[in-house]
């Protein structure tokens, strides 16, 4: 149920210099090779599906759904999709609005008057993260109860006792509490469990046989476990009890099902074009059940998710009618960079497969000191300061937090969490040129010179 985006913006970089190629004659072997390198170097376990309209363009799976059982990932495997669930919940809400059983202006107090500010919070506020209700998954107590079953009454009491973060409609801040409540509201209106409404209104209509409200992970149903890579091995992660995320993140699905769902959503098979337009309205970064992801001079609509060790993204390029779903049950690399790599190869944008087999090296503090300085670029307004603290070289862009730079050679430093590579040049004799480097991030190459 975590929040992310296709393009990492730690240094506020975007791909605005790239023109999206709308042709679909892409280098499939290169994309296969990229995923193969991710798998061989324990960087990811995931499934990828790309479609255009109803046509399958690309499909691939890497890693294992269960390491203990030695079960490789395949097109049979189902993943927890986390906050991508929110797209389904929002779709059902708009169906109820179209049926006249709800409006965007309906107040939360109609259903749950005990929640603070409920007389001011609207359905629209909940959909667009403008309610001010605190995100219950952000509290440290969440980690203590996340694996245990909770009743609807217990979760409502928990939400009711949360102190609001801000006044309704004052701004937008991501909160899983919003969609937990929306899932409950669906049940209040229909007098049926969320999972039955999901099946009746979406999965049965679209023949999504592998999409449903999750329960305890069951390998007999081809459901994947999630993993975290630590000390050279993948370690299975705890399972959130699915009674807790509910309409905010409890759905299980497959990459193929998600491309069918989002394509159908944009083809008005589930809601009207007017309702879709309201979902797509972006205010302070959030739509009503949709996010907008930039890529090149284009953008996609969709959502992303993170629950336990699962990380996911489902997006739709409306002009091209291209849908992509990437569902991972293990990530040991920057997920945004993986998405950028996949999309770059598919849209024929220049992309060099990184050396994923490279290993960290150790440089002495006196050697690291040679890289220190303040650097600027003619292509970016952000200056970058390199400074050694202890035995670690840190980078810090103007107005942003410092990040550690790990050496992989005397010329290459990485902050893999954000997909950042800083590469110094060498002269003809192989000596490092400490006064200049190339910043590589999100498909861009930006030269920097020491001031």
Q: In this model, does residue 28 exceed pLDDT 80?
A: yes
Structure confidence at residue 9 (pLDDT): 35
Pick left, alpha or beta for residue 430 (phi over 0 → left; psi -120 to 50 → alpha; otherwise beta).
left
Residues 330-362 pLDDT 10s: 999 989 989 999 999 999 998 889 889 988 999
Angle at 329 between CA 232 and CA 326, to 5 degrees: 125
Report the predicted TM-score, pTM, of the whole model to 2 decimal places.
Answer: 0.87
Tens of pLDDT, residue by residue over 126-174, are 999 999 999 999 999 999 999 999 999 999 999 999 999 999 999 999 9
Is the pLDDT at 23 greater than 70? The verdict is no
Q: How far apart are the C-alpha atoms of 58 and 322, rounded to whole Å?
A: 11
Helices (H), ranges, 362-432: 365-368
> Is the per-residue pLDDT at 418 higher than 90?
no
C-alpha distances in Å from residue 283, one per residue of 286, 291, 339: 5, 10, 24
Q: Classify domain 28-346 at the CATH class level.
A: alpha beta
Do 235 and 228 touch, CB atoms closer than 8 A? yes
Cβ neighbors of 269 (< 8 A, separation 6 or more) are: 205, 206
List where CATH 3.40.710.10 sits in the chain. 28-346
Q: Which of 445, 398, 451 is nearest to 420 (CA)?
A: 445
pLDDT in tens, 248-291: 999 999 999 999 999 999 999 999 999 999 999 999 999 999 99
Closest by alpha carbon to 425, among 447, 441, 406?
447
Burial class (CB in 10 A: 0-12, 13-18, 19+), 193: middle
- Residue 14 is predicted with a pLDDT of 38
CA–CA separation, 292 and 101 (whole Å): 28
Query: Which residues belong to CATH 2.40.128.50 in the chain?
Result: 365-450
Q: How confident is the model at residue 1 (pLDDT cuts 50, 70, 90)?
A: low
DSSP string, 10-76: TT----TTPPPP------HHHHHHHHHHHHHTT-EEEEEEEEETTEEEEEEEESEEETTTTEE--TT
Q: What is the dihedral of CA 141, 145, 146, 151, to 10 degrees?
A: -120
How confident is residue 404, by pLDDT bands cut at 50, 70 and 90?
A: very high
The predicted model gives 300-306 an average pLDDT of: 97
Calculate the alpha carbon distances from 209 to 76, 114, 224, 317, 340 in Å. 11, 38, 16, 24, 29
pLDDT(307) > 50: yes
DSSP string, 109-162: GGT-TTSTTTTT-BHHHHHTT-S----GGGSTTHHHHTTS---HHHHHHHHHTS
What fold, for 365-450? Answer: Lipocalin (2.40.128)
Which residue, 155, 140, 346, is CA-closest to 249?
155
User: Residue 184 — φ and ψ, nearest 5°?
Assistant: -65, -40
How many whole angstroms separate alpha carbon 25 and alpha carbon 450? 42
Name the average pLDDT for the chain: 93
CA 395, CA 379: separation in Å to the nearest integer?
Answer: 18
Q: How far is CA 306 from CA 35, 80, 83, 185, 249, in A?
A: 20, 9, 7, 23, 9
């Amino acid at each position: 149920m975590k929040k992310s985006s296709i393009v990492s913006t730690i240094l506020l970089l975007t791909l605005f210099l790239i023109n999206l190629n709308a042709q679909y004659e892409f280098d499939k072997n290169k994309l296969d090779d990229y995923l193969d390198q991710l798998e061989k170097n324990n960087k990811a376990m995931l499934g990828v599906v790309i479609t255009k309209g109803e046509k399958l363009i690309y499909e691939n799976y890497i890693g294992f759904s269960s390491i203990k059982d030695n079960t490789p990932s395949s097109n049979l495997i189902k993943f927890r999709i986390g906050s991508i669930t929110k797209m389904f919940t929002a779709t059902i809400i708009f169906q109820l609005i179209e049926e006249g059983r709800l409006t965007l202006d309906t107040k939360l107090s109609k259903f749950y008057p005990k929640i603070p500010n409920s007389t001011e919070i609207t359905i629209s506020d909940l959909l667009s993260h403008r309610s001010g209700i605190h995100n219950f998954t952000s509290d440290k107590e969440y980690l203590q109860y996340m694996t245990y079953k909770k009743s609807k009454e217990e979760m409502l009491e928990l939400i009711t006792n949360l102190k609001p973060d801000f006044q309704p409609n004052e701004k937008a801040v991501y909160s899983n509490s919003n969609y937990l409540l929306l899932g409950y509201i669906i049940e209040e209106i229909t007098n049926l469990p969320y999972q039955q409404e999901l099946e009746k209104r979406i999965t049965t209509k679209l023949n999504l046989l592998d999409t449903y409200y999750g329960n305890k992970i069951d390998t007999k149903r081809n459901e994947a476990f999630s993993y975290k890579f630590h000390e050279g091995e993948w370690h299975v992660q705890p399972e959130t009890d699915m009674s807790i995320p509910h309409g905010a993140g409890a759905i299980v699905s497959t990459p193929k099902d998600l491309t069918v769902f989002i394509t159908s959503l944009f083809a008005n098979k589930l809601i009207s074009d007017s309702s879709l337009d309201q979902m797509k309205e972006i205010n302070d970064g959030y739509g009503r059940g949709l996010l907008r992801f930039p890529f090149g001079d284009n953008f996609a609509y969709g959502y992303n998710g993170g629950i336990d060790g699962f990380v996911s993204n489902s997006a739709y390029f409306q002009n091209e009618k291209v849908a992509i779903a990437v569902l991972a049950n293990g990530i040991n690399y920057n997920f945004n960079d993986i998405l950028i790599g996949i999309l770059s190869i598919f849209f024929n944008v220049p992309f060099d497969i990184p050396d994923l087999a490279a290993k960290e090296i150790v440089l002495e503090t006196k050697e690291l000191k040679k890289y220190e300085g303040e650097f600027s670029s003619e292509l970016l307004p952000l200056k970058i300061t390199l400074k050694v603290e202890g035995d670690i070289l840190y980078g810090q862009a103007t107005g942003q937090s410092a990040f550690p730079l790990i050496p992989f050679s005397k010329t290459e430093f990485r902050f893999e969490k954000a997909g950042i590579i800083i590469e110094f040049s060498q002269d003809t004799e192989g000596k490092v040129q400490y006064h200049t480097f190339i910043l590589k991030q999100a498909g861009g190459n930006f030269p920097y010179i020491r001031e």
